[in-house]
Amino acid sequence: MYSIKPGEMVPEMEELGTVADLGATILDGEAKVSGLLTHGSPDAPVSAGWFGCTQGRFDMVYPFTEQATVVIGEVTLRNGLTGEAVRYRAGDSWFVQKGTPVTWEIHTERFVKHYFAVA
């Protein structure tokens, strides 16, 4: 068991390229990503882990249903279906359903979330 608290040390993550390598469309910035699975595998129906990204803006359609908590940084997520935009900071959480188009705008040099996902 471990705690997921804002600003706490984040485990070392593997560099994964950019969000474009994960199927997103980069609109601004580099959006380099890193990650660490703590449960499951990339093809597993249920997974959990850490996801980090550098500053940037990108569009993606969520490939899974996710509950996530921001650990480091700030991001605005805009729901492509409703137009609603919410800014999240360390300690904030969200829930998004698979298939939802979302525009991400990472405001800080580094952003890290911990997530639980169901394919």
DSSP letters for 31-70: -EEEEEEEES-TTSSEEEEEEEEEEEEEEEE-SSEEEEEE
Q: How far apart are CA 39 and CA 115, in angstroms?
A: 10
Which pLDDT belongs to residue 3?
A: 72
Report yes or no: 83 and 60 within 8 Å, Cβ to Cβ. Answer: no
CATH of 14-118, one of 2.60.120.10, 3.40.50.150, 3.90.1150.10, 3.40.50.410: 2.60.120.10
Which pLDDT belongs to residue 1?
A: 62
Tens of pLDDT, residue by residue over 39-74, are 887 777 999 999 999 999 999 999 999 999 999 999
**pTM for this structure?**
0.91
